[in-house]
Chains A and B, each alone.
Chain A
């Protein structure tokens, strides 16, 4: 018996296209908001990880590259990497960085800071990215958010690819902030927090 491919099994194409588009016009980065909003809505409304389990193109991309294309050593992850403190810690760190990015966007909106045409990789390395910026019809803040958001997406892709190569194809899914967060929401929804002693 073979599992039939559904339309949503091809969403990795969307993820790949998204990453490529960011090299041509940074404003496409805004589309990535879908990767934040859809999983949250599914977990809050339906109380399931339907996004991870079905629709996430990023997870599919890693499964494809690491599985079919064999770009993975397929080793076990180190224990600390799948521990709760690392997963929750990374979630907190990720969001702290995310809010810092929003703050920078706000400063540009407010005119207190100039637009920086860079993509920041791994929260440290500033890559010049002016070639993907052709002006915006709106405030500079709109473009600043695009640069910031694309930085987030590229950083998580790079981390995901590194752990894909070192460990299992979808190792990223173990510490993916969206995955961790939607699981937490589902836990809260199911009232399982008490049982787990998490409070």
Chain B
């Protein structure tokens, strides 16, 4: 349970379900999301703090905020 390893929450977005509307980009205060070539949204895991704002805003409700280890989504 109580690990001392770096465990942080990060947002992750499944590419195939994303409609690239950009709602998530607009609400992220850290500017961690960008739309890749108008196709899908990408999260910069270095900038993301896992606040979950984007997940709430996404009209397709596809963003998942979960714990990651060393930048990798479990």
Contacts and interface: CB of A to CB of B under 8 A. Distances in A.
Interface of A: 1-3, 43, 47-50, 52-54, 59, 63, 74, 76-77, 82, 87, 167-174, 179-180, 182-183, 185-187, 189-190, 192, 196
Report which residue of A49, A59, A190 has the largest number of chain B beta carbons within 10 angstroms of its beta carbon: A49
A49 B50 CA distance: 25
A48 B19 contact: no
A59 B21 contact: yes
15 contacts: A47-B38, A48-B37, A48-B38, A49-B38, A50-B38, A59-B23, A170-B23, A171-B59, A173-B59, A174-B59, A179-B19, A183-B19, A186-B39, A190-B38, A196-B16
Nearest to B22: A53
Given A48-B38, A190-B37, A76 B61 contact: yes
B59 A53 contact: no
A157 B34 CA distance: 27
